[in-house]
Structure 1
Amino acid sequence: MEIISDHRIESDSIGSHQVPIEAYYGVQSLRAQENFNITGNKLHPTFIQSLAYIKKAAAVTNGAINRLDPKKSQAIIEACDEIIDGELLNEFIVDPIQGGAGTSMNMNANEVIANRANTLLQGDKGDYNLVHPNDHVNYGQSTNDVIPTAGKITAYQLCVGLQKEMVRLQETLEKKAEEFDHILKMGRTQMQDAIPIRLGQEFKAYAVAVERNCQRLDYVIQEILTINMGATAIGTGLNADSQYVQQIVPELASITGIPLVQAQDLIDGTQHIDSFSMISGVLRTFALTLSKMANDLRLISSGPKTGFNEINLPKKQNGSSIMPGKVNPVIPEVINQIAFKVAGNDTTIAMAVEAGQLELNAFEPVIFYALFESISILENGIKTFVDNCLIDITANEDRCKELLESSVGIITALVPHIGYQKGSEIANEALFTGQSVREIILKEDLLSEEELERILSPDQMTSPGICQR
């Protein structure tokens, strides 16, 4: 191996290239860094860890079936363990969005692990006579089974964190539903007064919607537990020992603690990556649910003097550089923006999943970049939604009562007792004169005060059944 100053010379099928002498990455990683300066970001740390899990499982399996020298196998395993523990992450230099179906990601891992294994065996970085990136670290594998498997392991692990926050969100909403259950307010459809509803019922509905999305996510992540390790290039298993093909997935499942299973048809498992569009679709649906909830909170907290002002959002920061005292609903606003981003990412993922041709989809890098971002920003968004908004929401009971009493919406509860036609007349009179429905009913002696109180009670107006006079 030739050394020039503080660089070593490495060669590949393209030619020779100088690599920093202290680098654990090699020539192929460096070429990828030069070719794909796209996002300015690095690979997700959990994805790097997933790659190390795969390389470790392969080294264990190949060692067990005598396809890899025990010393080489052990050195590779030790190098992988260091990466799993969070070391050497800065040696992964390739951009998340890249051409080549993820070959650069795979080779970055192969080179870092090989060079670290070489140093563990008292060899030099860049001298691959002891441990070679392709011949040893990548033995029995291909980018085309390693990268989709790493993507699925990463997505699964990230979703575990997201699910925990979703459960916390649901529990927070349920507590608010109990806290506000006694507060009667005006319900609205199409932004117009409709009929009364309890504030607690609104928050309970939010909790139920979150629970439903939790169930959807729990179902769909089972899809990404099926992996194509052992497929190698196109699903035929070329260059992989038959024992390796049988043992690699159980070994990887054992190492990760994730219940991974091998695809029944490895060619299908390599060609088709529709499971990523499924999980992205569920994330989009959940994001839209959150955004609708955020819209509601912005509306019913609007004001504070000229809007609905039925609830108070916690004041988190100044709302204007020019208007003193203005406070904006910044947390719901960021939830809206997260939803916009997740929806956009879902479109990217859908286009990339469709764009595969023949035996491979080459666009997994952008799928993973978008998918990991969606999961992460949803998890972080829920954290700030719960901690900086939901837990400190308070209700303006007097304002809710004021709007309810001044609305003609309560007339609907009186229709079974006075008839639809009479109800319409009273509603129009209330709108024209500014009198309340209650005042007109009593003035015309249509119902007694006692009957009105019974009919217009929170329980009567917000649950099925007709109150008897």
Structure 2
Amino acid sequence: MKFRQEEDSIGVIDVPEEAFWGAQTQRSLTNFPQDVETMPENLIRAIVYIKKAAAIVNANEGKLDEEKRDLIIYAADEILKGKYTDQFPLTIWQTGSGTQTNMNVNEVISHIANAKKGEKLIHPNDHVNMSQSSNDVFPTAMHLSTFINLKDNLFPAIEEIIKSLEKLEKENDIIKTGRTHLQDATPVKLSQEISGWKVMVERDYEILKEVSKYLRKLAIGGTAVGTGINAKKNFGDEMASELSKELASEFVSDTNKFYQLSSKNALVNTHGAIKTLASDMYKIASDIRFSSCGPRCGIGELIIPANEPGSSIMPGKVNPTQVESITMVAIQIMANDLAITMANSQGQMQLNTYMPLIIYNMDQSISLLSKSLTCFRKNLLEGLKANQEKIKENLDRSLMLVTSLSPHIGYDKASKIAKYAYQKGLTLREASHELGYIDEKDFDKYVKPENMV
């Protein structure tokens, strides 16, 4: 491999000749673990958008001439077209401020711009990083990338899940045995059970949209510690305005940059809402797993699609693989939430230095849940069927129908009928007849599942 020499404040270092990065990126590659988790592409794109916006704002403020502005914009646009994805190799396990990744972007933009110009006109710090610090760029990028990721990926996936559940609810106006504590309970409609699932997702979605609004507030303009040193007073407002245009979403400069640099609670709250949704999806998936267990020796009231063979040894077996997939994803998201919460708690003085960990877990959670919801919907919900014969069989055998007798003969007598029927292997009607607590005409009048739902 051929090398060229690059220099920074530490000194001279060899950089691969074909690399577009510079000395600080190379030092990070040398000093931190390699072949492990790298910075999310969504975050890199967000930083590039920040650099492009900063070039425009700095030029408007008279701090950057038009030629330098245009070269930085050109380089940023080239990256945003996806041409240089291999030039951002740094791990998340670096400095907690993300400084090396900020400089990685600065250096690559500088290199592309200078290659176009044919001379070293653009400096990564003096020009690309003008009026900025890693300490306000990185948290701004975290907010931008998370907000856009939610809007473009997770929100649409949630909306499709809600539509699918609405369809299932309308199609399944069937009375079935209710279950509490995984034991037989009074009847419920399958549509009512599904409506509970639907509302879980709807309420989680409402909360997620509400808490994610705080991601619109940006740290940019705070520079190193929140005071805005080396940036003009209105730089943050102008950056928020420019980024709003670029990303077709409304962003604002936060009124308190000290808060934005030292706390990541907007991200903690957002991920908390994502975790809540994941936990409810776990519950929905588990309900389907229990209700579909069988097909002959379990509850068997739901029939799941046969997407793939379920066993390497048992022919004809079908397993709830979509359930298993999304519940594993839910557990991963719960683990990510703990990591994000712990990372936020470790902010010290004017800066939180656990930001790469936070954004990696956030990006993974959104990506995993978005894709998992889509698979769960297409490969399970859209093919889920009610086993009406099994549902009727279980309902007819349920002892908890006796609950409807309690107002007429009392709790104690109703309880004796249920226990007697269970012990003797009788139906409720047969047990009631033998005990003589109520005549058959009144029994038929009161024990009607359709009046119990």
Which category describes the TM-score, using the shorter chain as reference length? over 0.9
What amino acid maps onto 2:327 in structure 1?
Answer: N
What amino acid maps onto 2:200 in structure 1?
Answer: A
CA displacement 1:395-451 (0-9 Å, x = unmatched): 1111111111112110002222333222112111110111111333456483445x5
Aligned pair partner of 1:241 in 212, 226, 232: 232
Structure 1 residue runs without a partner (length 5+): 124-128, 463-469
How far residue 37 of structure 1 moved from its aligned partner, in angstroms, is 2.3
Say which is worse superposed, 247-256 or 56-65, in terms of deviation.
Answer: 247-256
What is residue 197 of structure 1 aligned with on the other side?
188
How far residue 52 of structure 1 moved from its aligned partner, in angstroms, is 1.0
Aligned pair partner of 1:306 in 297, 302, 326: 297
What is residue 121 of structure 1 aligned with on the other side?
117
Aligned pair partner of 1:213 in 198, 204, 217: 204
CA displacement 1:43-65 (0-9 Å, x = unmatched): 22221111111001100001111
What is residue 270 of structure 1 aligned with on the other side?
261
Distance 1:29 1:138 in 2: 15
Contact conserved, 1:41 with 1:96, CA < 8 A, in 2?
A: yes
What is residue 107 of structure 2 aligned with on the other side?
111
Cα pair distance change 1:397/1:243, threshold 3 Å: closer
Distance 1:440 1:245 in 2: 77
Contact conserved, 2:96 with 2:352, CA < 8 A, in 1?
A: no
Structure 2 residue runs without a partner (length 5+): none
SS of residue matched to 2:95 = coil
What is residue 431 of structure 2 aligned with on the other side?
440
What is residue 163 of structure 2 aligned with on the other side?
171
Aligned pair partner of 2:274 in 257, 262, 283: 283
How far residue 167 of structure 1 moved from its aligned partner, in angstroms, is 1.1
Contact conserved, 2:96 with 2:355, CA < 8 A, in 1?
A: no
Contact conserved, 1:65 with 1:243, CA < 8 A, in 2?
A: no
Cα pair distance change 1:272/1:63, threshold 3 Å: same
What amino acid maps onto 1:140 in structure 2?
Answer: S
What amino acid maps onto 1:70 in structure 2?
Answer: E
CA displacement 1:121-174 (0-9 Å, x = unmatched): 123xxxxx4000000000000001100000110100111110111111111111
What amino acid maps onto 2:101 in structure 1?
Answer: M
What is residue 141 of structure 1 aligned with on the other side?
132
Distance 1:52 1:203 in 2: 44
What is residue 45 of structure 2 aligned with on the other side?
49
Q: Is 1:335 aligned to 2:326, yes or no? A: yes
Contact conserved, 2:409 with 2:437, CA < 8 A, in 1?
A: no
* TM-score normalized by the length of structure 2: 0.96
SS of residue matched to 1:130 = coil
Cα pair distance change 1:137/1:291, threshold 3 Å: same
What amino acid maps onto 1:280 in structure 2?
Answer: H
Contact conserved, 1:198 with 1:458, CA < 8 A, in 2?
A: no
CA displacement 1:224-267 (0-9 Å, x = unmatched): 11111111000011111234344222122222222111111111
Runs of 4+ with >6 A deviation: none
Distance 1:262 1:243 in 2: 9
Say which is worse superposed, 59-68 or 246-255, in terms of deviation.
Answer: 246-255
What amino acid maps onto 2:63 in structure 1?
Answer: R
What amino acid maps onto 2:25 in structure 1?
Answer: S
* TM-score normalized by the length of structure 1: 0.93
What is residue 71 of structure 2 aligned with on the other side?
75
What is residue 36 of structure 1 aligned with on the other side?
32
How far residue 89 of structure 1 moved from its aligned partner, in angstroms, is 1.3
SS of residue matched to 1:19 = strand
Tell me the C-alpha RMSD between the 2 structures: 1.7
CA displacement 1:74-132 (0-9 Å, x = unmatched): 00011111222222111111113322410011001000101111112123xxxxx4000
Distance 1:245 1:171 in 2: 40
Distance 2:409 2:157 in 1: 49
What amino acid maps onto 2:400 in structure 1?
Answer: G
What amino acid maps onto 2:64 in structure 1?
Answer: L
What amino acid maps onto 1:93 in structure 2?
Answer: P
SS of residue matched to 1:403 = helix
